[in-house]
Structure 1
Amino acid sequence: MTANATEQTQVLVPLTTPEEVDRFLQDYPLAAIFKAGTCHKTMQGFGVVESFLQRHELPVGFIRVVEWRPASNHVAERTGLVHHSPQFILFRDGEAQFEVNNWDITPQALEPVFRQHVPLREGAAKVATDDNVEPYRRLMRAYLAGELSEWAFQDQYVTLFRDDASLRSQREFELLSRLFGDPDAYHGGLHQLGAPQERGDLRERVQALLNELG
């Protein structure tokens, strides 16, 4: 078995035979297998998986199903899961815990699974938070310093959240939506936002969220 590690010690292992599948799952109590086909769905699906591997410690065995079909068939027989390509299967102690395939391999599908079951790389959580939520921190600090009125802060915050194009994890979405709810419900006009006092003191909630974001 050969393992390919990046500078972040990302482990990718080719699984070409049934024996290599069994050895891989024995060597790594928490691991995943990715079945790779030949169409563009595979490239997109593995791109999604790789985005999580940059932040999480998870060995991944990959199977090129056309060339290494016995290994692919063995995974299906071992797990009882219908074969797909692409297909992502998370294992713990050799048992399949989660499976997703084809166009369903999305950030929305994988984020809660990685969050609950796969450890973060050292320092990954801080880097991701610093990169992704700093614009919200700046807005909150400006509001708390009196540089923005309540309504101006509310409008700018929700507009930023609604138009934010960066990949946002479920945890980040839940945190950022605490102040004013789902940004998709806002279509312009302050009346859409509702009175802040209906949710409790806004300054206290902003300070609490800012503290949690670090």
Structure 2
Amino acid sequence: MTQNQASEQPQVLQPLTTPEEVDQFLRDYPLAAVFKAGTCHKTMQGFGVLETFLQKHELPVGYIRVVDWRPASNHVAEMTGLVHHSPQLILFKDGQAQYEVNNWDITPEALGPVFAAQVPPRSGAGGVATDDNVEPYRRLMRAYLDGGLSEWAFQDQYVTLFRDDASLRSQREFDLLSRLFGDPDAYHGGLHQLGAPQERGDLRARVQALLNELGS
């Protein structure tokens, strides 16, 4: 174990699958947050923003997969009186909701003042274990580079995969994965609005560069 690994403090990132687990989590951690995860890339982006603050601040986080753990999600809404959203971040102190932010409003500008005022800094570097499985993206990129997919087929499949990805990823991973085609919400009228795959530059070169950064 290196000196950096020894000083790194693991992040509390706990699944909350039932109402009872929600209550126990909030009893165990007087200052904590609950993150409700949805079913699309908004969750990935919102958690990525949160992850950057968790690296420098001491805040246990419980997360709820809303579709899978609906009773836990409903319990949070009932106990706080807050309208459900996903993604949704709620800061608790002594079991009481202090702050909430939802959807695209989960931004550095929104979280910065809250963390500065209410969340203590870490004494060492924080290690946030996220859902860092990028293999589906790697497989898709390899298939394109090996000639198994046309440019148009690759573009459609990649954007669909990214749009439906609700993984709890780091900000770095989100930034890397979104680099090829940008925010799919910009194409809400249909993927045909993306335009030609080469419009953003040499697609093959950009895919190879991304694959290298993700680790092929």
Q: If the TM-score is normalised by the length of the shorter chain, which range does it land in?
A: 0.5 to 0.7
Deviation by residue 1:104-151 (Cα, 9 ceiling, x = unmatched): 000000000000000001156xxxxxxxxxxxxxxxxxxxxxxxxxxx
Q: How many residues align?
A: 119
Cα distance in 1, alignment partners of residues 101 and 69 from structure 2: 20
1:25 is matched with 26
Report the alpha carbon displacement of residue 14 of structure 1 after superposing the two structures with TM.
Answer: 0.3
Report the alpha carbon displacement of residue 72 of structure 1 after superposing the two structures with TM.
Answer: 0.1
2:101 is matched with 100
Output the amino acid matched with 2:74.
Answer: N
Report the alpha carbon displacement of residue 49 of structure 1 after superposing the two structures with TM.
Answer: 0.3
1:69 is matched with 70
Q: Secondary structure at the match of 2:23?
A: helix
Cα distance in 2, alignment partners of residues 57 and 79 from structure 1: 23
Cα distance in 2, alignment partners of residues 122 and 93 from structure 1: 22
Cα distance in 2, alignment partners of residues 64 and 81 from structure 1: 17
Output the amino acid matched with 1:85.
Answer: S
Q: Secondary structure at the match of 2:77?
A: helix
Report the alpha carbon displacement of residue 9 of structure 1 after superposing the two structures with TM.
Answer: 1.9
Mark the runs of 5 or more structure 1 residues left unpaired by the alignment: 1-5, 125-214
Output the amino acid matched with 2:71.
Answer: P
Greater Cα offset, 44-53 or 6-15:
6-15
Matches within 5 A, 1:130-149: none
2:90 is matched with 89
Cα distance in 2, alignment partners of residues 46 and 35 from structure 1: 10
2:121 is matched with 120
Q: Secondary structure at the match of 1:31?
A: strand
Q: Bigger radius of gyration, 1 or 2?
A: 1
State the structure with bigger RCO (CA 8 A, min sep 6), 1 or 2: 2
1:54 is matched with 55
Deviation by residue 1:157-211 (Cα, 9 ceiling, x = unmatched): xxxxxxxxxxxxxxxxxxxxxxxxxxxxxxxxxxxxxxxxxxxxxxxxxxxxxxx
Cα distance in 2, alignment partners of residues 46 and 99 from structure 1: 14
Q: Secondary structure at the match of 1:91?
A: strand
Cα distance in 2, alignment partners of residues 93 and 74 from structure 1: 17
- Using the aligned pairs only, state the percent identity: 81
- Relative distance call for 1:76 and 1:108 in structure 2 (3 A) is same
Cα distance in 2, alignment partners of residues 9 and 115 from structure 1: 20
CA RMSD of aligned residues (A): 1.3
Cα distance in 1, alignment partners of residues 73 and 66 from structure 2: 6
Cα distance in 1, alignment partners of residues 94 and 124 from structure 2: 26
Cα distance in 2, alignment partners of residues 40 and 13 from structure 1: 20
Mark the runs of 5 or more structure 2 residues left unpaired by the alignment: 1-6, 126-216
Q: TM-score normalized by structure 1?
A: 0.54
Q: Secondary structure at the match of 1:99?
A: strand
Report the alpha carbon displacement of residue 19 of structure 1 after superposing the two structures with TM.
Answer: 0.2
User: After the TM superposition, which parts of structure 1 deviate over 4 Å for at least 4 consecutive aligned residues?
Assistant: none
Output the amino acid matched with 2:114.
Answer: V
Cα distance in 2, alignment partners of residues 18 and 103 from structure 1: 26
Deviation by residue 1:28-47 (Cα, 9 ceiling, x = unmatched): 00000000001110000000
Deviation by residue 1:62-92 (Cα, 9 ceiling, x = unmatched): 0000000000000000000000000000000
- Please say if residues 9 and 124 of structure 2, whose CA atoms lie closer than 8 Å, have aligned partners that are also in contact: no
